[in-house]
Chains A and B, each alone.
Chain A
Amino acid sequence: MKFVIQRNQLIASVQDVMKAISSRTAIPILTGIKIDARNHGITLTGSDSDISIESYIPAEEEEMVYVEEITEGSIVLQAKYFSEIVRKLPEQTVEIEADSNLQVTIRSGKAEFNLNGQDAEEYPHLPKLQTDNSLELPTAVLKSMIKQTVFAVSTMETRPILTGVNVTLKDNKLLFTATDSHRLAVREMNIETVNMEEINVVIPGKSLNELNKILDDTDENVEISVTNNQVLFRAKHLNFLSRILDGNYPETSRLIPDQSKTTIHVKTKELLNTIDRASLLAKEEHNNVVRLTTKGNDLVEIIGNSPEIGKVTEEIAVSSIEGEELKISFSSKYMMDALKAMEADEVKIDFTGAMRPFIIRPEHDGSILQLILPVRTY
C-alpha cells in the first residue's frame, strides 16, 4: 500500500475517526485506525465496537487533487501515535507506505517515521449497507430531532432498552421516541420520498449524542439505512455506524392522554426563566420539585420550597388558562429540558389533573411532544 496525501485533509479525517476510538477497549485491534487505500480514494475507520466512524478522502474532488500515487492496500495503525504524528508533520504533503511485513513508513519533508502496523484482516468487518434501501433527511433536521429527544433517555442500566431512542418509520412518518419512564419526548417528521420498508430500531442515546457532535451544520442530506444489527448514517464523505439495542421498545402511544382538563398557553422563554429561578431552591434529592398553581384566568404561580433553605414564589402572566383550577408539582429539571426542546415562542400545556401526566407542545406545531409525570407531594 502506498499513497501521497494532502496533510490538512488527512488531519481532518483522522480527527473525525478518533472520536470513535476509545483508549479502554477489550479488543486490541480497536486501538488502531484502519487505512484503506483504493484507486478512487482513502478511507479511514475508527471504532470502539459500539460506534464506528468511516471518513473518506476522495483522490480528486472539484479539480483539487488530494491523494496521488495510490497503490491499493490496507493497514491498521496505532491511533494514538498516528494522530499525533500526522498533526506534527512538517510539510503539506505526507507519503504513507506499508510493506508486506506490515511495516509502515510515513514521510513528510525530511521527517521519516517507521511504525509497526497490524493486519487489516484482523479489523472488525463492518456491514456493507446498500444505499437503495435508505431514507434521506437534511442534516439540520436530523440534528434537531436528536437534540429534542435524546436528553430524555434513561441513564440507568436497569432497563437497558430505555437507554436508547426508538426510531420508527411507518406510513411516511419518521418518529423519534425517548423515555426514562418519568418523562417522554416524541418528535415526528413527515418524509415525502421514502424508498425503504418500515423500520423500528432502538439506537443507543450515547451513539446519537456522538453523531450530533460529529455532523456539521450543513444543508446537505444525511442518508439513514438499517441492517439487522447496525444503523448507518451517511453524510458527505463520512459514515457513522452504530450498533442497535436488542429488545422490544415499550409501546408509548397509549401513555399520551387525548383529552385535557386544564390548558395553559404561555410564552416559552418566560416560563423557562421562572422555572429556572424556582429551581434554585429546589433540592436535587427531592427530584427538584417545584409547584405550579393556577390563579384566575391569566396568572400562574410557581413555588420552589426547601424548608431547610428557603422558599421562592413567583407569579407569571400567561396568555390564557382554560378549564379547571389546578395545583401540580413536577420536576423543574424535566420541565426545563422539555421547554428547551420546544423551539417555539409560545407553548401549550395540557393537564389532566394533579396526579396525571401532562403534555407540552408548541402552540402551532404538532410535531414535538413532551410528556412529564408529576411528583406526588402532600
Chain B
Amino acid sequence: MNTWSEIAQVQPLASKVITNSIKKNRISHAYLLHGDRGTGKEAIANLIAKGLFCDNLIDVEPCNTCSACKRIESKNHPDVHWIEPDGQSIKIEQIKNLQKEFTYSGVESNQKVYIIKGADTLTANAANRILKFLEEPSKKTTAIMLTENTQSILPTIRSRCQIIDLQPLSPPKFQEQLIQSGLTEENAKLMSALTNNLKEAIEWNEDEWFVQARKLMVQLIETIADNSNDAYLFIHNHWVSHFKERSQQEKGFDLLILAFKDIIYYHVGKEDAYVFFYNDRERLERLGMKYSQEQLIAILQQLLQAKQRIKQNIHPTLVMEEVTLQIQG
C-alpha cells in the first residue's frame, strides 16, 4: 500500500481524514493510529511522512520515486525517526535519545517526524517523558503513534493526539486475497480468523509448526471431550514441548477458542461461520453432542481468561492444566 488511493480501498474513512488535512495544509502535530494487525498502520504512517518530505507531491500522493520517498520507505531518512519496542516495551533510554534529537536542528530540513510503533508498550516513565514534547511541539514536528490498543495508552497522551481509528479488514475480502495467494478455502478461513496480515497468513500456512499445532489441538479437544485423565499426560507429552514461546502459546489458545466457537455455531446452526472444523463436520457433530450451550459459553470464558493469564506471565503449563480441569468440570 504505497498510495492514498490504495489505502482508501481498505480504510476509506482514515484516508479521507488525513488526505483532507494534507490538502488544507492542516496536518496535526500528533496522530494516534489505532487498528488491529495488518490494518495498514505503518503504511499510513509512511504516507504521512512522505507527504511531508516528498519533493514532487502530486495533489496528496507522494511520488514514491524521489530520494526522500525512497529513503522513508527503507527507513534511512535522517529526519524520520522510528521508535520500536526494544523487547517487551519501549524503554526510557529510547525516549531520552529521541528527546536529545529534538534539541538539535534537523539534518536536511527543519521538518521532523517521529513514529512510535507499539505505543501501548511505552513504560510509564517513557510515556510521561513523551508527554512533554507532545504538549509543546517544537515547530514543524509531527508525531505518529501506532497502537493496537488505545485503551492501554495514558489518557494524557491520548487527549493530545488526533485519534484515527482503522477499521478491521473485512474477513471475506481478506479470505479472497488469501485464496488468490494459493491457500485452500479451509486454510483461508482459519488464517483470516487468526490474523489480518496477508504476509503473516501465508507464512503461517507454510509453517510446519503450525500444521502440527493444529493437529495437536484436534487431538487435545478429543482427549478432553473423552473426559479421560489422559488429557494431563497429553499436555505434558505434546503441548508443552510444542508450544514453547509465549506467542506460540497465545496462538494455541486462539486455535482452541476458534474450535469451541465452532461447536457453539453448530448448536445455533450457523454453518457458514465454521472455521476450525470447516472440513470436519463429522467430528464437529460428535463434539456438539457432548456439550450444552451453557457449558460452551463457560468454556469460552475460561479460555479467554487463560489467554489473559499467559500475557500476565503465569506459568503456561499451570494455566493449561487449570483450563483442562475446568473444561472437564
Please name the residue on chain A nearest to B75 by beta carbon.
A28
**B34-61 toward A: CB 8 Å interface, digit per residue (1/0)?**
0000000000000000000000000000
Q: A26-B82, A125-B67, A246-B138 are in contact. Are A229 and B106 (CB under 8 A)?
A: yes
By CB atoms of chain B within 10 A, which of A26, A124, A125, A163 has the most? A26
**B50-86 toward A: CB 8 Å interface, digit per residue (1/0)?**
0000000000000000010011001111100110000
Nearest CB in chain B: distance from A67 CB, A? 27
Interchain CB contact under 8 A, B78 and A49: yes
Residues of the B chain whose Cβ atoms lie less than 8 Å from the Cβ of A204: 104
Q: Does A366 contact B (CB under 8 A)?
A: no
Select B76's contact among A27, A160, A244, A245, beta carbons within 8 Å: A27
Q: Please report the C-alpha to C-alpha distance between residue A49 and residue B100 in the assembled complex, in whole angstroms.
A: 12
Nearest CB in chain A: distance from B132 CB, A? 11
Q: Which A224-259 residues sit within 8 Å CB-CB of chain B?
A: 228-230, 243-247
Residues of the A chain whose Cβ atoms lie less than 8 Å from the Cβ of B74: 28-29, 122
Q: Does A161 contact B (CB under 8 A)?
A: yes
Q: Please report the C-alpha to C-alpha distance between residue A245 and residue B104 in the assembled complex, in whole angstroms.
A: 4
Residues of the A chain whose Cβ atoms lie less than 8 Å from the Cβ of B106: 229, 243
**A12-53 toward B: CB 8 Å interface, digit per residue (1/0)?**
000000000000001111100000000000000000011000
Q: Does B206 contact A (CB under 8 A)?
A: no
Q: Does B107 contact A (CB under 8 A)?
A: yes
Question: Total number of A-B contacts with CB less than 8 angstroms?
Answer: 66
Residues of the B chain whose Cβ atoms lie less than 8 Å from the Cβ of A228: 105, 110
Interchain CB contact under 8 A, A160 and B103: yes
Select A229's contact among B99, B103, B107, beta carbons within 8 Å: B107
**A122-164 toward B: CB 8 Å interface, digit per residue (1/0)?**
1111010000000000000000000000000000010011010
Select B104's contact among A26, A28, A29, A50, beta carbons within 8 Å: A50
Q: Does B96 contact A (CB under 8 A)?
A: yes
Please name the residue on chain A nearest to B68 by beta carbon.
A125
Q: Does A285 contact B (CB under 8 A)?
A: no
Residues of the A chain whose Cβ atoms lie less than 8 Å from the Cβ of B282: none
Q: Which B111-154 residues sit within 8 Å CB-CB of chain A?
A: 138
Interchain CB contact under 8 A, B75 and A229: no
Please name the residue on chain B nearest to A245 by beta carbon.
B103
Interchain CB contact under 8 A, A121 and B105: no
Interchain CB contact under 8 A, A29 and B76: yes
Nearest CB in chain B: distance from A274 CB, A? 39
Q: Does B241 contact A (CB under 8 A)?
A: no
Interchain CB contact under 8 A, A246 and B103: yes
Select A160's contact among B78, B100, B110, beta carbons within 8 Å: B100
Q: Which 4 A-B pairs have the closest CB atoms?
A: A160-B103, A229-B105, A29-B76, A124-B78
Binding site for B on A (CB under 8 A): 26-30, 49-50, 121-125, 127, 157, 160-161, 163, 204, 228-230, 243-247
* 21 residue pairs A–B, Cβ–Cβ below 8 Å: A27-B77, A29-B74, A29-B76, A30-B78, A122-B67, A122-B76, A123-B76, A124-B108, A157-B99, A157-B100, A228-B110, A229-B105, A229-B106, A229-B109, A243-B105, A243-B107, A245-B103, A245-B105, A246-B103, A246-B104, A246-B105
